[in-house]
Amino acid sequence: MTRTPPAWTEPLLHRLGTARAEDFTQLTTPEQGGRESAVLVLLGEQPAAGPDLLVLQRAATLRNHAGQPAFPGGAADPADTDAPATALREANEEVDLDPSSVTVLAELPRLWIPVSDFVVTPVLAWWHAPHPVHPREPAEVAHVARLPIAELVDPENRLRVRHPSGWIGPAFSARGMLVWGFTAGVIATLLEMGGWARPWPRDRVIDLPPVGAAPAPSAGTDEVDEMAGPLT
């Protein structure tokens, strides 16, 4: 398969050329401090399902972010040369992704997650040579899925979730996964930037299931109920 990304990625890549952190979040990324990290936003394509995104689900037994869907990724190591190196290393460690199968396309703006004080660089990439992936450490990763863009933009699969704190943010229901928080916020913004989003009922709001719930209003068009106050 060619390393050149397909034509359907061009509108997104063009828009990302002028992207700012403000396009993804209402929170200001601190100039100093915060733990540097990166996640891999991996675009692929399958003959039957079309374009897709690789997402994993954290194990329900983890102390932090239990049961949450997420992009592969994590904290930077001293040996990592840059954000793509961090994202690819973490993806290999988490889901056995072969870094040589991936072409890095762009680094998104650095985004701050205040609840964990991580400063995250999402790394957009094209999976030019897709291969089977799986959780390498089931105690950390429970499930790996390729979520078709067609299902993510389907109005029937879009909703918002309300955290017990009062925070409300975008979410997706696809392939048996409820994707919310930071990951859903980044996805929602990318769908808009790529011109793929479709109108959906924004009054569809559900309470977040309690298992693994953790406030992460760090990306997307997140809102906070007036009585809840901002999350810190």
Return the pLDDT at 142: 85
User: What is the pLDDT of the chain when averaged over all its residues?
Assistant: 85
Q: What is the pLDDT of residues 84-97, one digit of tens each?
A: 999 999 999 999 99
Indicate the pairing of strand 73-75 with strand 35-46: antiparallel
Percent of the chain with pLDDT over 70: 85
Return the pLDDT at 148: 97
- What pLDDT band is residue 211 in, cutting at 50, 70 and 90? low
7 three-state secondary structure: helix
Closest CA to 72 of 5, 130, 146: 146
Q: What is the mean pLDDT of residues 170-185?
A: 92
Q: What is the mean pLDDT of residues 174-202?
A: 94
- What pLDDT band is residue 199 in, cutting at 50, 70 and 90? very high
pLDDT: which is higher, 230 or 58: 58
Q: What is the mean pLDDT of residues 121-147?
A: 93
- What pLDDT band is residue 50 in, cutting at 50, 70 and 90? very high
Specify which residues 107 forms β-bridges with: 123
| Residue in this structure with the two tokens 């990166």, named with its chain if needed | 38
The answer to whether 223 and 105 have CB atoms below 8 angstroms apart is: no
Return the pLDDT at 10: 97
Distance, in Å, from the CA atom of 190 to the CA atom of 149, rounded to the nearest integer, reads: 11
